[in-house]
Structure 1
Amino acid sequence: MAQSGPDLSFDPDLDHLPPEIRWREWMGRVEAVIFASPEPVPREVLSRLVGRACRLDDVIADIQHELQARPFELVFVAGGWHHRTRPRYAEAIRLVQQPQAGSGDRDLSSAERLVVTAIAYLQPVTRKELSRLFGKEVSRDVIARLKRLDFIGAGPRAPEPGAPLTYVTTSKFLSVFGFASLRDLPDIEALEEAGLLQPTAETNEPVDALDRELGPVGDDRD
């Protein structure tokens, strides 16, 4: 069956509407698309919903203003806009909601959370390099589970003997941990200057440092 072409009836400009009604319609379109999407919606997608004379940033700002008294908000994570419940209601939601497999950071154990955080800082990074960082072996099972949950993926082969695999974080990592991009990670240079990313066999400093930087996330099950 041939695929249908673009919907030519869709009018992003809405020139026939009075300015105030046109603006409200643009706001409604943008919020509806973000609300309906399970993933963050990129700016270039939202730009197709509004007219050429419309400033998308102003539309987003007006939506955020109207949501100030609501228990949810629009946030920019993983390269797009997403509806999120406000953090102060997290405990109330957990009280009545059964955890769902694959739903987010609560699926990660303490060790898995620290490994994926280290990968975010050091990517692309090999399993051997991660093991050296933590002063103990990072198992293949941990890497496999993080890949299965789509927190990490395969990076380029490392330029060293044997060309081992490297690992990088995914957009799901950014979305779940609430980062717009990797630039939002806590400053790794400050950790390096403090010597917290140079582990020794006698200390667990890198684990403690990464844990402090991101704070507790999910249940510790190790």
Structure 2
Amino acid sequence: MSLSFAPDPTELERRVEALLFAAAGPLSLADIAARLPEGADAESAVRALQTRYADRGVVLDEVAGRFRFRTAEDLSFLMTDQREGPRRLSKAALETLSIIAYHQPCTRAEVESVRGVSMSRGTLDLLLEMGFVRLRGRRRTPGRPVTYGTTDHFLEHFGLASLIDLPGAAEMKAAGLLDLSLPAGFEVPNPARADDGDDEPPPDTDDAPEFAQDFVSQD
């Protein structure tokens, strides 16, 4: 039963910590606040937890405006034997992913125009399968071509908090976002384009967070 008054900061941190631990995926501040007493300062509690966990084996990370616990980066070697080897992207896939990230939302034809060559169907299929790219909707132009944009998994994989943090052209190779020469016509990122409303959006989906129930008792 929730209390009618906001708990003290220590208790509030405990509640937020429990929510983040039990969540099946990253939580936004709105997700967290929805499960706290009215008036509780969710952001202050999250920031306090980030400080508390800064030097621990598990850290509180922010990805695409959402928060989740993950293993500290310098301890990743401990999990090496238990990890499945990551799939490597071809040069064509990396170039396509980079163009979509910097020009989204964009169509297949627009990607091919920037690259200057035709793109195989398998390249987009691979990016969709790996969760780096998603369908954004359809362009309101003749033929209504499908547009593509990046996902939160893309931000997570490349360690970006948001599209605003995309590296500049000179930093792309160092960030692992591009490992070949930039194609003609490549532009500096304009993250505002990602939500410019030019496309017809796909149907709404239920984004309510899921929580593990292992430690929840049922009366």
The alignment's TM-score, normalised by the length of structure 1, stands at 0.66
Residue 163 (structure 1) aligns with: 144
Say whether 1:107 aligns with 2:87: yes
Q: How far did 1:159 drift?
A: 5.2
Q: Residues 37-186 of structure 1 correspond to what in structure 2 (within 5 A)?
A: 37-94=23-80, 96-99=81-84, 106-111=86-91, 112-158=93-139, 161-186=142-167
Q: How far did 1:14 drift?
A: 5.2
Higher relative contact order (CA 8 A, sep 6+): 2
Please identify which structure carries the higher strand content: 2
Say whether 1:206 aligns with 2:182: yes
Distance 1:68 1:124, change over 3 A: closer
Distance 1:12 1:67, change over 3 A: farther
Distance 2:119 2:23 in 1: 35
Please identify which structure carries the higher helix content: 1
Q: How far did 1:160 drift?
A: 5.2
Secondary structure in 2 aligned to 1:143? helix
Which structure has the greater CA radius of gyration? 1
User: Which digits, 9 at most, give the CA deviation of each residue in 1:100-129, with x for residues without a partner?
Assistant: 7xxxxx334143344223211111112222
User: Which digits, 9 at most, give the CA deviation of each residue in 1:138-183, with x for residues without a partner?
Assistant: 2111111222233212234345553332211122222333322212
Distance 2:110 2:140 in 1: 13
Distance 1:12 1:93 in 2: 43
The alignment's TM-score, normalised by the length of structure 2, stands at 0.67
Residue 218 (structure 1) aligns with: none
Say whether 1:10 aligns with 2:2: yes
Secondary structure in 2 aligned to 1:155? strand
Distance 1:185 1:117 in 2: 10
Paired residue total: 176
Q: How far did 1:187 drift?
A: 3.7
Secondary structure in 1 aligned to 2:145? coil
Distance 1:166 1:67 in 2: 39
Aligned-residue identity in percent: 29
Retained in 1: the 8 A contact 2:6–2:38?
Answer: no
